[in-house]
């Protein structure tokens, strides 16, 4: 994640600045503010602002006038209750804003989470940097035979080398052509004075999906946790999971009680359907039930068995 000297200086200036406030702050998150956390080969994630803490969740649930005099354990218990019973609005009282640098194909997955405010780097206005995501060899995998959205066995040897060469070659060539189409030098002047150059909004359509973009992304805690539940899941695509896992660490620093409840009741939990729950009761009564007579599809049965483990 190479940052330019100017970017490093800008980040350091932001981290050194201090503002007096009466609103609640979280020391652990304050320590992370503006810091660029590396993601993938050229990406990063930065917290640039936030509002609220665990106390704001509790305050909203109780509709109190201040922090109150309740013990931390009581507040944590209430947060666990809210998470367990999916009372979402108190979690919406906390908000956070990120600056994210990510490949375009990851951004296209990320933007599916629509309950957020987004402002992306404009390739209509500015020229995109020559930075592309190239997977590490251990993340090159064949198509899964059982999951149309997933990966199978890792590629190796000559096949893996050929894939990496193609990815690098195509991304580099497309960016070369992008620069030719623009006909712009680093200072914005024409490279070839005899040519006009194509408009930036048109030249960008030649770029590959592994080109890096950047955006500011602001959301509330409820929707952020929904993002993490889907994107930090082991079945999520690796490239977006890298960002989601870093966000989860940030959530742990920001709202530790909510983070603990989320891990307990969402991330590490499994929801049984009505039929699954009846099957579990039958098993507890000592009955033997096979998939064909269970009322579950093969996929549901596999998920049910995986959740129960050796039971």
Distance CA 263, CA 257 (A): 10
Q: Is 126 helix (H, G, I), strand (E, B) or coil?
A: coil
User: Is there a catalytic annotation at residue 231?
Assistant: yes
In angstroms, the Cα distances linking 262 to 11, 74, 114, 148, 265 are: 31, 17, 21, 29, 5
Distance CA 114, CA 98 (A): 15
Q: Is 113 helix (H, G, I), strand (E, B) or coil?
A: coil
Domain ranges of the chain: 1-128+211-269, 134-209, 274-308
Task: Return the pLDDT at 147.
Answer: 75
Of residues 157, 158, 160, 161, the one with CA closest to residue 141? 160
Domain covering 1-128+211-269: architecture: 2-Layer Sandwich (3.30)
In angstroms, the Cα distances linking 179 to 42, 191, 195, 201 are: 20, 9, 13, 13
Residue 194, both tokens: 């005899």
Taking only the tens place, the pLDDT of each residue in 49-98 is 999 999 999 999 998 766 655 677 899 999 999 999 999 999 999 999 99
Cα–chain-centroid distance for residue 310?
A: 32
Residue 310 has pLDDT above 70, yes or no: no
Let me know: does 218 contact 97? Beta carbons within 8 Å.
Answer: yes
Which one of the listed residues 46, 200, 231, 241 is annotated catalytic?
231
Name the average pLDDT for the chain.
93
Taking only the tens place, the pLDDT of each residue in 212-226 is 999 999 999 999 999
């Amino acid at each position: 994640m190479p940052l330019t000297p100017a970017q490093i200086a800008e980040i350091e200036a932001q981290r050194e600045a201090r503002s007096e406030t009466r609103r609640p702050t979280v020391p652990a998150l304050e320590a992370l503010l503006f810091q660029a956390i590396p993601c993938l080969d050229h990406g990063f994630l930065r917290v640039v602002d936030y509002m609220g803490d665990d106390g704001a969740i509790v305050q909203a649930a109780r509709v109190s006038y201040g922090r109150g005099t309740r013990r931390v354990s009581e507040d944590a218990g209430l947060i666990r209750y809210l998470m367990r019973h999916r009372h979402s609005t108190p979690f919406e009282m906390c908000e956070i804003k990120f600056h994210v640098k990510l490949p375009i194909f990851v951004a296209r997955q990320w933007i599916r989470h629509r309950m957020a405010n987004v402002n992306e780097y404009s390739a209509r206005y500015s020229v995109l940097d020559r930075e592309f995501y190239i997977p590490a060899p251990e993340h090159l995998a064949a198509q899964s035979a059982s999951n149309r959205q997933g990966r199978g066995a890792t590629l190796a040897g000559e096949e893996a080398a050929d894939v990496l060469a193609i990815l690098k070659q195509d991304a580099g060539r497309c960016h070369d052509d992008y620069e030719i189409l623009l006909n712009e030098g680093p200072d914005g002047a024409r490279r070839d004075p005899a040519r006009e150059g194509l408009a930036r909004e048109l030249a960008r359509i030649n770029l590959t999906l592994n080109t890096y973009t950047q955006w500011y992304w602001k959301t509330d805690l409820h929707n952020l946790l929904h993002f993490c539940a889907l994107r930090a899941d082991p079945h999520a695509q690796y490239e977006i999971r890298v960002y989601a896992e870093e966000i989860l660490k940030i959530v742990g620093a920001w709202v530790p009680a909510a983070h603990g409840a989320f891990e307990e009741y969402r991330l590490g939990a499994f929801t049984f359907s009505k039929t699954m729950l009846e099957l579990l009761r039958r098993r507890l009564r000592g009955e033997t039930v096979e998939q064909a007579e269970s009322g579950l599809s093969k996929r549901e049965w596999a998920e049910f068995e995986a959740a129960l483990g050796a039971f």
